[in-house]
Structure 1
Amino acid sequence: MEQPFRTTLAQLLKARFPIVAIESHEELRVLFEVRAVAGDADLVRTPRPVWTWSLTDGLRRDDGEEQGRTKDPADALDALLRLQQPVVAVFRDLHPSLGGAGQPGDAAVIRRLRDVATAFRSGAVPRSLVLVSPVSRVPVELEKDITVIDFPLPAEFEIRGVLEGMLRANAASPRLRIDLDDDGRERFAKAALGLTLHEAENAFARAMVNDGVLDLADLPVILEEKRQTVRKAGLLEFIETGPRLSDIGGLENLKRWLGRREGAWLADAADYGLPAPRGVLITGVPGCGKSLTAKAVAAAWGIPLLRLDIGRVFAGLVGSSEHNMRAAIRTAEAVAPCVLWIDEIEKGFAATGANDSGTSSRVFGSFLTWLQEKSRPVFVIATANEIESLPPELLRKGRFDEVFFVDLPTRAERGAIWSVHLGRWLRHPRVGGALTADHAVLTELTTLSEGYSGAEIEHALIAGVYDAFAERRPLRHDDVVRALVNMVPLSVTQAERIAAVRAWADARAVAATAAEDWDLGTPVAPTQPRPDGGGPHRPHGGRPVEF
């Protein structure tokens, strides 16, 4: 487990590490923590005054004492070298002088930093230099002299403190009604995890002025602030959440499993001693709801949905892929609690290490380590169509909580899918009217769509609406039937492939369909006459009984 920041910094100061670099946008929080450590005799034994430097203020001590003309960074470092007393100096935004992004650094500043490292390491009094900037830049000349440490984003109790302070400050306002119990305040604080204190304060203020009422309905305002964080990072895509789990036809076993883990990152689950759920790997027949489930989970749980495109990770200069994966992971953890969706994961990790000097293997290794060790509530949903091509180490327990297999929809599931899609179209003022969704119609369409995936059922209905649109009339029963019988589904064109996927999943995955929904009734006849009289309609095999 990672040590608290104050403990780490105190150890480095006591060990007289000469230069420490901290990457953070929150320089005021960093300064607060540095001052707390430097002035605590229990942490550092010898309390030390804190000096700060910036390009606008120069070098000055906390009590106001200045060191002459020191706005130039080289002059400030010279003045720092002359201070023969215990000191912790915090230099803010020195990174432009250190180069980076193809630009050389200031040779004079880099040379003086090396002199500072030598003098502070061997000096008679404890002195340390802390570099604080929003980006981490360590020139090759200073790689052995600078120690980089992580500065965590605000913890939940810090964000909760900001929220409580704002609630107290605005409690007497006649224009604001606060409707949040303790559980609601916890949800607000957890929703703001991953934001800086300033960003969290902005989000809470926006939620307050949104409609004059602060309640759980304002949680999307917090998520919008997180959307800005993801957009700025560039490696992840913030996805608009889709339908809820109840809007997905079938997959009752998977939906029940997911439903029982809603809110498992809150304090109630911690009281049970439960860790946050890690995630699921969903494989199966294409077009049967794997990606839709990822969108529905985020909507049902009320947390952000992020999509990781592996192709974006493997891009850029040599060595940037590993950096991109780490950056993507940091962004996801900053936005947590969230759902991280990795679509068609086998496309990125199927052949790791092949013909790329080991880049894929290193990126894959970083990803596996994070899956195993992650402590932030990032629920990973990975989908795969060709799961047998994935490395076996990805599938072992501890990486994902469960592996689910999504097969072609059963008869009961097809009925539910038809109800969802027909209900949507029949409510349309131009499309509905000539077709009903009564029991007889659903039974016929369910029978005709034997072997069809959910996506193919949706496409057949859309094709029927196109026919209705061409004649500028409402949708009719024969439009849908004609589209169905003219379509050759994947269960026919990829029959061998689907059989292989089923064979793999038989002993390795949990069925996403509940056992009570399995369709084990009368088999479909070898041939079925087309309703349009155009010859036999090809049969499509359903789920084998033993599966």
Structure 2
Amino acid sequence: MTTTNATEKTKKHLANLFRARFPYLYIQTWEEDRVLSLIRDVAQDAELIKTTREVILWRVTTGLIDGKGQSMGDTKLPLKALEYIEKYDKPSIFVLQDFHVFFGSEWRVPDYQVIRKLRDMLTSIKQSEHPINVIFTSPFLILPDDLQKDVTIVDFELPSFEEIKNLLEEMIQVNEQSSRIQINLDNEGKERLAKAALGLTLSEAENAFARAMVEDGRLDIHDVEVVLQEKEQIIKKTEILEFVRSDLKMADVGGLENLKRWLSKRNKSWLDSARKYGLPAPKGVLITGVPGCGKSLISKSISSMWQLPLLRLDMGKIFRGIVGSSEENMRKAIRTAEAISPSILWIDEIEKGFSGYSGGSDSGTSARVFGQFLTWMQEKTSPVFVIATANNISALPGELMRKGRFDEIFFVDLPTLRERKEIMRVHISKRLTDPEVSGEFELTDESLDLLSSKCEGFVGAEIEQMVIDALFEAYAENSAVRLDHFERAIVNTVPLSVTLAEQIRGIRDWANIRAVTATPREDRKEYTDEGLAVPPGAILSNMGEYDDVRLKRGGRTVDF
């Protein structure tokens, strides 16, 4: 497998640390074989390291093992192993695996003799005639305060895109020799499959590709789903992020065509083909507006459009736990999202999570977490697309909406006539599938026009509930569905646009200069025309002040 730029950079960094005779290095990784292979490559590269060195491995189950696999005496006990290292007189690199168990943790008392011995050895290792380096490798970063000034932490990234793609190519080549699995992947398909596996170790990626091959005897672009299932295991273990699996498609979202077009144009923008245009991966979008108008619905549907994993960040879980853990929880969530990128990070009702960001009520914890999130949003380079939704705009900090954090801010208003018609079509079609129940009722443009005009002022969630209520009416009568069932359900519903009329006016005033409308220009014009002639019997006849809310829609008109 060819090395990548990232791998070469890590090799050079390690080589410089070895040559500078840094005594103790710490590498946090699950990939023992991969990091050992890299260390051995560096240790034998005379151009990089000048003085080549033997790599000696220690495990609590085997003790010290030399480069030929031979035991180096009774060295299973950590103190025995350290004494052996202290006296060793050849150029060498000692790799101590899982040595963190002696450093203590929240559940384990540290072994102070081992820690003291490591500090005692510092001078002899530095002054040794032959260069010696000690590397601790572990899946966890646990370092006692006593050693923090003496141990250098080395970042060891998960496999890069090039490494995973090389692995995929090798597996395809091996399969082509046996011709047991049908391969149906072009270059773009290979790229998408490899990028879907980012965030997995090489072993996990190999398992995912192998599973994809054997499940149906072929490997094609549809096997991205198999890779995402492997990633789901990673997310479940964080307990902060939730892997959201949704069958929702963009076609299931009625209206919001302006927002849909904006999202559609950014599909595949994390692929290499976008680099030809000098395009960066999109950072994210903030969707705000009237409650119940489809903000969460469209957030879930982006995942299926882009074929990327959707992760929901629960801000409540960020702030739970002991003092000082909130910042670490946010770092952990960010690291996980970046590890499995390209991905989509969804923060629902973000204003609730950062409502105390000023720091007055929690000793500044919210402010620190909020600052941490803002800094990451501004500086992130990994293709993690952030979707944030908000209902209460006044609770949003101004810093969050500054350019550079989100690519765009969209405002979702009350649905127009055309949007209500589409929303109603989606919900009725989804539920009214039995011919006996549908009876003589036909889902025609005329019936949809009539019902949509009568439910002016309804949000999408209210239209869905109205359809359900109408079907309950028919079910209670044990009859086929009729048009009057829907009309009755409409009359019995008091929409949010009536109870929250003043709040909606305030939201729209805010959105007029700060956000782009999710509704396209042609639908907004139709809505204005619609407002000039309300059909007889429409529920708006008793709305009073709502007329002002209905005619003055919010959000800047920018078409995508």
- TM > 0.5 fold call: yes
1:482 match: 488
2:98 match: 93
- Aligned residue runs from structure 1 range 129-528, under 5 A: 129-352=134-357, 353-428=359-434, 431-518=437-524, 519-523=527-531
Distance 1:237 1:442 in 2: 37
TM-score, with length taken from structure 2: 0.93
Distance 1:432 1:200 in 2: 49
- Secondary structure in 1 aligned to 2:381? coil
- Secondary structure in 2 aligned to 1:507? helix
Distance 2:88 2:235 in 1: 43
- Secondary structure in 1 aligned to 2:528? coil
Relative distance call for 1:512 and 1:543 in structure 2 (3 A) is farther
1:44 match: 49
Distance 1:376 1:19 in 2: 30
How far off is 1:18 after superposition? 1.6
**Deviation readout 1:1-58 (Å, 9 max, x if unpaired):** 9993223322322332221111111011111111222222333333222111111221
Cα RMSD (Å): 2.1
- Secondary structure in 2 aligned to 1:4? helix
In the alignment, structure 1 segments of 5+ residues that lack a partner are: none
How far off is 1:392 after superposition? 1.3
How far off is 1:429 after superposition? 5.2
AA at the equivalent of 1:364? F
Distance 1:141 1:308 in 2: 35
Distance 2:9 2:106 in 1: 31
Kept in 2, the 8 Å contact 1:528–1:538? The answer is no
Kept in 1, the 8 Å contact 2:454–2:535? The answer is no
AA at the equivalent of 2:268? G
- Secondary structure in 1 aligned to 2:288? strand
2:133 match: 128
**Deviation readout 1:114-133 (Å, 9 max, x if unpaired):** 22334324444322111101
2:9 to 4, 8, 24: 4
Distance 1:178 1:415 in 2: 44
2:141 equivalent to 1:103: no
Kept in 1, the 8 Å contact 2:25–2:152? The answer is yes
Distance 2:23 2:292 in 1: 58
How far off is 1:545 after superposition? 6.1
**Deviation readout 1:127-149 (Å, 9 max, x if unpaired):** 21111011111112222222222
AA at the equivalent of 2:275? A
Distance 1:467 1:4 in 2: 68
How far off is 1:152 after superposition? 0.4
In the alignment, structure 2 segments of 5+ residues that lack a partner are: 556-560
AA at the equivalent of 2:412? V
AA at the equivalent of 1:305? L
Distance 1:545 1:32 in 2: 62
AA at the equivalent of 2:368? R
Distance 1:379 1:366 in 2: 17
- Secondary structure in 2 aligned to 1:469? helix
How far off is 1:516 after superposition? 1.2
**Deviation readout 1:170-216 (Å, 9 max, x if unpaired):** 22445421111111111111111110000000000000011112111
- Secondary structure in 2 aligned to 1:136? coil
How far off is 1:289 after superposition? 0.9
Moved more, 310-319 or 116-125: 116-125
AA at the equivalent of 1:62? G
Report percent identity of matched pairs: 50
Kept in 2, the 8 Å contact 1:18–1:116? The answer is no
**Deviation readout 1:271-316 (Å, 9 max, x if unpaired):** 2211111110111111111111111111111111110011110010
Relative distance call for 1:526 and 1:64 in structure 2 (3 A) is closer
2:85 equivalent to 1:84: no
Distance 1:445 1:319 in 2: 54
1:61 to 43, 46, 66: 66
Distance 1:318 1:118 in 2: 37
Kept in 2, the 8 Å contact 1:235–1:313? The answer is yes
- Aligned residue runs from structure 1 range 8-47, under 5 A: 8-47=13-52
How far off is 1:513 after superposition? 0.8
Distance 1:471 1:4 in 2: 73
Moved more, 362-371 or 123-132: 123-132
Structure (1/2) with the larger helix percentage: 2
Distance 1:301 1:101 in 2: 41
TM-score, with length taken from structure 1: 0.95
2:558 match: none
Kept in 2, the 8 Å contact 1:465–1:475? The answer is yes
Distance 1:96 1:192 in 2: 31
AA at the equivalent of 2:245? E
- Secondary structure in 1 aligned to 2:152? strand
**Deviation readout 1:441-475 (Å, 9 max, x if unpaired):** 11111111111111111111111122222233332
